């Protein structure tokens, strides 16, 4: 049985997303890759809800061709 679900959004700019979620929603950074900007991936915590963001261009490199990623950039 699943303990929790963590959505991951494929976006254009992870750094901008982090800034907005921190400034507007007071999110806390849990982890990033790499450790310093510009980020390709980030995990944020909103109270007890975790969400992840990944740069679309990086995701194309991480996933196989079998995983649909928009128009594959």
Q: pLDDT, tens digit, for every residue of 41-65?
A: 999 999 999 999 999 888 877 776 6
> What is the reported pLDDT for 62?
77
pLDDT at 72 over 80: no
Asked if 72 contacts 64 with a C-beta cutoff of 8 angstroms, the reply is no
Q: What is the pLDDT of residues 14-23, one digit of tens each?
A: 999 999 999 9
Q: Which domains does the chain have, with CATH numbers?
A: 8-62 (3.30.720.120)
> What is the reported pLDDT for 63?
73
| Distances, alpha carbon 54 to alpha carbons 2, 13, 22, 35, 63, in Å | 22, 8, 16, 14, 12
All residues at 6 or more sequence positions from 59 whose CB lies less than 8 Å from its CB, including other chains: 10, 69
Asked if 40 contacts 49 with a C-beta cutoff of 8 angstroms, the reply is no
């Amino acid at each position: 049985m699943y303990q929790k679900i963590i959505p991951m959004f494929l976006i254009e700019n992870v750094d901008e997303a982090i800034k907005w979620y921190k400034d507007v929603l007071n999110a806390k950074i849990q982890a990033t890759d790499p450790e310093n900007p510009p980020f390709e991936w980030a995990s944020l915590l909103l109270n007890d809800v975790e969400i992840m963001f990944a740069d679309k261009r990086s995701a194309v490199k991480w996933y196989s061709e079998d995983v649909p990623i928009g128009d594959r950039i």
